[in-house]
Amino acid sequence: MDERAQLANDLRAALAAWDAGDTAAFDSRVDGLLRAREGNLYAHVARLSRGLHQQVVAMHQDEHLARLAGDEMPDARHRLDYIMKVTEQAAHRTLDLVDQARGITDGLQRAAVHLAEAETVLAETHPDTANIGVLMHGVADGLRADAQRLRSTLSELAQAQEYQDIAGQLIKRVITLVRNVETALLELLRISGGALQAPAPAPITPTTVALAGPAVAGIGPAAASQQDADALLAELGF
């Protein structure tokens, strides 16, 4: 029997008791009606609390999102800006060094010209050996200097690639953030989709990157420079 029919039955029975002058039966019928009413109220309150609970869970999600959107996104943007800057600087430094190395090849060309001149002199019937000696000496000096310059240019070129390490570390952090945002959004979708679904455990474990990582100006606590580090270690007796 549904709720309405039950209610109609109870009302009719109460009315019949009233008409019959059976006060005791009437009171008992009315009590029953009131109890049923209270039961409904409890069911309603329970429904409300369940709804509230879900709201709270959803709000908790929003807090995570707010943290991601408010702090971590701008933080990631700064890191990406920084990556742009260091990669650009490294590219320019590399190109400068390549130009420098190209300049050194001019010296190598000159050495080759001098060697050819020496060869010509040697081919003469009475070669001026003193002149050849001077030429050779000049060539040797020039080559030695060029070799040294080229070597140091190459070292600097290799070192200019170190940005990759720093940029790589920062990109790893940004990837972690993107993954967290993705998880939070998926969870939010799931919650809003299944209204009566049991609340899932909070999907975001707070990002615990224990280490501060590469220092980026304007983000995080002030970082030490090499000079600061040296001074600190000296203080500690190093």
Partner 1 sequence: MDKNMKILVVDDFSTMRRIVRNLLADLGYVNVTEADDGRSAWPLLQAGSFDFVVTDWNMPGMTGIELLKNIRGDARIAKTPVLMVTAEAQREQIIEAAQAGVNGYIIKPFTAQTLKEKLDKIFQRIAEAA
Torsion from C-alpha of 63, 69, 72, 77, nearest 10 degrees: 180
Min dist CB 181 to partner 1, Å, is 22
Separation between Cα atoms, residue 170 and residue 179, nearest integer Å: 15
**How many C-beta atoms lie closer than 10 Å to residue 97's C-beta?**
19
Contact call for residue 224 and partner 1 (CB under 8 A): yes
Contact call for residue 71 and partner 1 (CB under 8 A): no
Closest CA to 98 of 159, 149, 162, 153: 153
Give the length of the chain: 238
Separation between Cα atoms, residue 230 and residue 236, nearest integer Å: 10
Q: Which string of x and - marks every residue 153-192 that binds partner 1 (by CB under 8 A)?
A: --x--xx-xxxxxx-xx-----------------------
Separation between Cα atoms, residue 133 and residue 138, nearest integer Å: 9
Contact call for residue 215 and partner 1 (CB under 8 A): yes
Q: Which string of x and - marks every residue 121-160 that binds partner 1 (by CB under 8 A)?
A: ------------------------------x---x--xx-
Single out the segment in contact with partner 1 by CB under 8 A; choices: 41-49, 64-72, 120-128, 222-230: 222-230
Min dist CB 164 to partner 1, Å, is 4
Listed in sequence order, the residues at least 6 apart from 79 whose beta carbon sits closer than 8 Å to its beta carbon are: 170, 173, 174, 216, 219
Min dist CB 86 to partner 1, Å, is 8
Binding site for partner 1 (CB under 8 A): 151, 155, 158-159, 161-166, 168-169, 211-215, 221, 223-226, 228-229, 232-233, 236, 238
